[in-house]
């Protein structure tokens, strides 16, 4: 709920943050528990939960800001690498139910994100899944 949402409270100025950037529709600030130095969160000012339920004008505004923000982060962090991450739903690790993009600068051997071993499909399953997902669009 928007009233209790920690990011809405940050946007309203009720809770402090280390602000990096702000415009009419977006706010970027440092993550309080960074996976690496310079880890930023980019959030829409409107309370929306995740991309699949979010109006497209908000997604457009967010994605337009990824490039400039990422460039500023990696320039400041003196690296050429970063991850852009969106956790959607509890099983994906979403703890704050207000849509946010993590932009995480990455450094040699920083172990910031653990890597999962790649899976594989049984014969035919890949084609079946591609077909089913395509049909659901
Ligand atoms: P997620 O697991 O994708 O929902 O990520 C939520 C992120 O919000 C975590 O990385 C937290 O460290 C971060 N976070 C939570 N509260 C604050 C806060 N008050 N200021 C900055 N970052 C926060
Ligand atoms: Zn919110």
Backbone angles phi, psi at 77, to 5 degrees: -80, -5
Given this model, what pLDDT does residue 95 score? 98
pLDDT higher than 80, residue 3: no
Q: Ligand 1 pocket: which of 4, 8, 31, 91 to mutate (most atoms <8 Å of CB)?
A: 31
Q: 40 CA to middle of ligand 1, Å?
A: 10
Given this model, what pLDDT does residue 59 score? 98
* pTM to 2 decimal places: 0.95
Percent of the chain past pLDDT 90, that is, above it, reads 91
45: pLDDT confidence band, cut at 50, 70 and 90? very high
Q: What is the pLDDT of residues 74-119, one digit of tens each?
A: 999 999 999 999 999 999 999 999 999 999 999 998 988 877 889 9
């Amino acid at each position: 709920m928007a009233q209790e949402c920690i990011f809405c409270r940050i946007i309203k100025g009720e809770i402090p943050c280390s602000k990096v950037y702000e415009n009419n529709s977006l706010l970027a600030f440092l993550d309080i528990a960074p996976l690496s130095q310079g880890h930023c969160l980019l959030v829409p000012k409107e309370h929306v939960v995740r991309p699949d339920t979010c109006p497209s004008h908000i997604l457009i505004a967010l994605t337009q800001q990824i490039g400039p923000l990422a460039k500023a982060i990696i320039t400041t962090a003196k690296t050429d690498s970063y991850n852009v991450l969106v956790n959607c739903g509890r099983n994906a690790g979403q703890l704050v139910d207000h849509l946010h993009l993590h932009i995480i600068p990455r450094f040699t051997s920083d172990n910031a994100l653990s890597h999962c071993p790649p899976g594989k499909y049984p014969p035919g399953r890949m084609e079946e899944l591609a077909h089913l997902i395509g049909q659901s669009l």
